[in-house]
Chain A
Amino acid sequence: MKRLLLVAALLCGTAHADTIAITGGTIAIGDGSQPIPNGIVVIRDGRVVAAGANVAVPAGAQVIDAHGKWVAAGIVAGFSSEGIVDGEGIEETYDGAAGKSVFNAAIDVSTSINPTNQSIAVDRTWGVTRAVVSPEAGNSVFAGQGAVIDTGADDTPVSKARAFQYVELGEDGANRVGSRPAAYVMLHDALAAAKSATHQGGDTKNALITRVDAAALLPVVEGRMPLVVHVERASDILQVLSLKQAYPGLRLVLLGAAEGWMVAPRIAAAHVPVIAGALADLPEAFERTAATESNVGRMEKAGVTVAISTVDVSTEGGQRNLRQYAGNLVGIARVPGMTGLDWGTAFATISSRPAAILGLDNEIGSLRPGRRADVVIWDGDPLELSSAPVAVWIDGVAQPMTSRQTRLRDRYLNPQEGALPKAYEH
Chain B
Amino acid sequence: MAREVAALGALILLAGCVADAPPRSASATPASSSERIVEPWKTDPFPSTYHAYPGVPTLITNVTIYDGEGGRIDGGSLLLADGKVQAVGRNISAPAGAIVIDGTGKWVTPGVIDVHSHLGDYPSPSVKALSDGNEATSPTTPEVWAEHSVWPQDPGFSRALMNGGVTTLQILPGSANLMGGRSVIVKNVYARTTQGMKFPGAPYGFKMACGENPKRVYGDKGREPSTRMGNIAVDRETWQQAVEYKRRWDKYEKDGGDPPSRSLAMDTLAGVLDGKILVHNHCYRADEMANVIDMSKEFGYHVTAFHHGVEAYKIADLLKANDICAVVWADWFGFKMESYDAIPENLAILQKTGTCAMIHSDDPNGIQRLNQEVAKAQAAGRRAGIMIPDEVAWEWLSINPAKALGLADRIGSLKPGKNADVVLWNGNPLSVYTRPDRVWIDGALMYDAHDPKRRPVSDFELGQPGEGDVK
Residues of A within 8 A of B339 (CB): 87, 316
* Residue A83 lies at the interface, judged by CB distance under 8 Å to chain B: no
Find B434's partner among A119, A314, A331, A338 (CB 8 Å cutoff).
Answer: A331
Of the stretches A59-67, A137-145, A282-290, A348-356, the one at the interface is A282-290
Q: How far is the CA of A314 from the CA of B364 in the complex (A)?
A: 9
- Number of CB contacts from chain A to chain B under 8 A: 172
Q: Is the CB of A331 within 8 A of B343?
A: no
Q: Is the CB of A332 within 8 A of B337?
A: no
Residues of A within 8 A of B449 (CB): 335-337
Residues of B within 8 A of A196 (CB): none
Min CB distance A246 to B, Å, is: 28
Q: How far is the CA of A41 from the CA of B140 in the complex (A)?
A: 61
Q: Is the CB of B353 within 8 A of A415?
A: yes
Known: A385-B372, A413-B349. A331 touches B334 (CB 8 A): no
Residues of B within 8 A of A330 (CB): 432-433
Contacting A at CB under 8 A, from B19-51, are none
Contacting A at CB under 8 A, from B333-380, are 333-337, 339-345, 349, 353, 363-366, 368-369, 372, 375-376, 378-379
Residues of B within 8 A of A408 (CB): 341, 343
* Residue A388 lies at the interface, judged by CB distance under 8 Å to chain B: yes
Please give the residue numbers on chain A whose beta carbons come within 8 Å of chain B beta carbons, in ascending order.
86-90, 118-119, 122, 234, 259, 262, 279-286, 288-294, 313-318, 320-321, 324, 327-328, 330-332, 334-338, 383-388, 405, 408-409, 412-413, 415-416, 422
Q: How far is the CA of A119 from the CA of B339 in the complex (A)?
A: 12
* Residue B96 lies at the interface, judged by CB distance under 8 Å to chain A: no
Q: How far is the CA of A282 from the CA of B353 in the complex (A)?
A: 38
Min CB distance B61 to A, Å, is: 21
Q: Is the CB of A89 within 8 A of B336?
A: yes
Q: Is the CB of A88 within 8 A of B461?
A: no
Find B314's partner among A279, A335, A388, A415 (CB 8 Å cutoff).
Answer: A415
Closest to A290 in B: B465
Q: Is the CB of B471 within 8 A of A337?
A: yes
* Residue B253 lies at the interface, judged by CB distance under 8 Å to chain A: no
Q: Is the CB of A409 within 8 A of B343?
A: yes
Q: Is the CB of A317 within 8 A of B353?
A: no
Residues of A within 8 A of B125 (CB): 283-286, 288-289
Known: A283-B461, A293-B163. A87 touches B343 (CB 8 A): no
Q: Is the CB of B375 within 8 A of A88?
A: no
Q: Is the CB of A284 within 8 A of B431?
A: no
Q: Is the CB of B432 within 8 A of A328?
A: yes
Closest to A282 in B: B124
Of the stretches B142-150, B191-199, B324-332, B407-415, the one at the interface is B324-332
| 24 A-B contacts (beta carbon < 8 Å) | A87-B334, A87-B339, A119-B334, A259-B465, A279-B368, A281-B159, A282-B124, A282-B156, A286-B127, A289-B464, A289-B465, A314-B366, A316-B329, A317-B329, A327-B433, A332-B435, A334-B433, A335-B470, A337-B452, A386-B382, A388-B379, A408-B343, A409-B343, A413-B385
Residues of B within 8 A of A280 (CB): 365
Residues of A within 8 A of B342 (CB): 405
Interface SS of chain B: helix, strand, loop or mixed? loop
Q: How far is the CA of A293 from the CA of B164 in the complex (A)?
A: 13
Q: How far is the CA of A338 from the CA of B126 in the complex (A)?
A: 25
Q: How far is the CA of A289 from the CA of B162 in the complex (A)?
A: 18
Q: Is the CB of A282 within 8 A of B159?
A: yes
Q: How far is the CA of A405 from the CA of B339 in the complex (A)?
A: 12
Please give the residue numbers on chain B whose beta carbons come within 8 Å of chain A beta carbons, in ascending order.
124-127, 155-156, 159, 163, 212, 313-317, 329-337, 339-345, 349, 353, 363-366, 368-369, 372, 375-376, 378-379, 382-385, 426, 430-435, 449-450, 452, 460-461, 464-466, 469-471
Closest to B213 in A: A89
Q: Is the CB of A318 within 8 A of B333?
A: yes
Q: Is the CB of B432 within 8 A of A413?
A: no
Known: A283-B461, A316-B333, A385-B372. A87 touches B363 (CB 8 A): no
A283-B460, A292-B470 provided; 19 other pairs, C-beta below 8 A? Answer: A86-B334, A122-B334, A282-B156, A282-B159, A282-B364, A283-B464, A285-B127, A286-B125, A289-B466, A290-B466, A293-B163, A294-B470, A317-B333, A321-B331, A327-B432, A334-B435, A336-B450, A386-B382, A408-B341
Residues of A within 8 A of B369 (CB): 324, 328
Q: Is the CB of A292 within 8 A of B469?
A: yes
Residues of A within 8 A of B378 (CB): 386
Q: Is the CB of B471 within 8 A of A294?
A: yes
Min CB distance A91 to B, Å, is: 10
Min CB distance A319 to B, Å, is: 12
Q: How far is the CA of A245 from the CA of B286 in the complex (A)?
A: 58
Residues of A within 8 A of B365 (CB): 279-280, 282, 313-314
Residues of A within 8 A of B337 (CB): 87, 89-90
Residues of B within 8 A of A87 (CB): 334-337, 339-340
Q: How far is the CA of A387 from the CA of B335 in the complex (A)?
A: 24
Q: How far is the CA of A87 from the CA of B127 in the complex (A)?
A: 25
Q: Is the CB of B335 within 8 A of A331?
A: no
Closest to B363 in A: A314
Residues of B within 8 A of A118 (CB): 334, 340
